Chain A
């Protein structure tokens, strides 16, 4: 225990953002209402997934990837599948690739909806939270049609996807795409440009471009700092190079580039772009196989790869070393939120306690992938 200075009060700030329920502990050293120093304590959800990976076979690890970022399981499945496929060197059927993109983008929308909703409830606006959940419910129904699950999908497997999309899925998705843009407009009317909301967020928790790169921040948080870096554009995987979408970048519309409002707004813009991508994919969906031929007992050739994919929260990478057996020799998971949270002590210096809530919400971290 450190020497306690009587001028300061130590506050354990508990679960604040819904995706940090009970597993993120912030130890704040406060001087009145000003935070002098913040220490995030993580590891309360540490399940040892990397150790588990060395004890199960390659296909068996797929369900564990669902439990990484459980608001974006599809994207985690996808990144893992891409990693193993890179070592296997197999060709994925085009239909499977397009289905994967559809699922990944729908999941990006649903993840950002949770981010939007929970962030607004952090800021004291409860109704938008219900809006976010309402729209996400639609996507959950779609995913339930496809694989029967509503949270941990385990749909994208090594070699393709687990089964073909059912009848009526395409019509239902189109219905969603017709209905969604109007809702985005509604979010902007209700919340994004609300004077109180903007005042709470503009110029709070500014991440400069240099800081963002130095701390390895990725995803919407990096783009909010004004760097146009999206792996779907820079290192296209699947069929992203054939698609037409924009990469939104923070412009400091309401304050400074890289402030909390920019980070919030990135997600709203990205949802619109993801909806565009899904629409394009539905139009070009060909007939064909939904999975490549993968042997029952999967022996992955010796070698090591690092493959990364653009998740809703940033760059998810898998560093995989295989020794030619049926189990990974080493699987390191490079989680986006891990880097995104590591900048937190720097941002939290000298801000108000109420702004801490805004900071955590705008970084949109998720604990299961930090703790793994």
Chain B
């Protein structure tokens, strides 16, 4: 199934909660309203004919010009071999996105990583701790406006 048709199906089903469709990316992307990401993912995962059974990855992206943070979900289907990207944009100063851990257990670590490096808070994640950096690290390094610290505890960075 083509990404265009998938987008059409999603619009028919979720109406205005599906924002727009990006054709110039590979795989094609659908921008989804943050509050309904769980429903959309659940629909894509379980709907016959879609069967996006595998969550390939979750990545945080900093859209500094629009003062937003974005989360990109790459979904793939082993059965039908189609792929799609779902994008959720959230406010840069108060980034909150619902977790999709109940759909894919593997999402836990990806979400922890996005939280660790971007500070995106995934509401409902069972274990939202830093994963790559020390627990007491300050700031979110992957943001574009991150200022490098001079020192960490007693040693120079």
Contact = CB atoms under 8 A, between A and B. Distances in A.
A and B from one complex: yes
Interface stretch (B11-19, B34-42, B51-59): B51-59
Interface string B99-142: 00000111011000100010000000000001111100000011
Nearest to B132: A43
A84 interface: no
Contacts of A321: 61
A213 interface: yes
A265 B117 CA distance: 37
Contact of A215 (B26, B56, B106): B106
Contacts of B132: 42-43, 46, 371-372
Contact of A213 (B54, B57, B62, B109): B54
B79 to A, nearest CB: 10
B54 A216 contact: yes
Nearest to A211: B105
Interface residues of B, number: 34
Contacts of B106: 214-217, 339, 342-343
A169 B105 CA distance: 46
Q: Provide the main secondary structure of the chain B interface.
A: mixed
Contacts of B113: 338
Q: Provide the main secondary structure of the chain A interface.
A: mixed
Contact of B26 (A229, A304, A334, A342): A304
B58 to A, nearest CB: 9
A245 to B, nearest CB: 19
21 contacts: A43-B131, A51-B142, A213-B53, A213-B78, A214-B104, A216-B55, A234-B78, A306-B27, A306-B56, A315-B56, A317-B74, A332-B57, A332-B59, A332-B60, A332-B61, A332-B72, A334-B59, A338-B109, A342-B105, A342-B106, A342-B109
Interface of A: 42-43, 46, 48, 50-51, 86, 213-217, 227, 229, 234-235, 303-308, 315, 317, 319, 321, 330, 332, 334, 338-339, 342-343, 346, 371-372
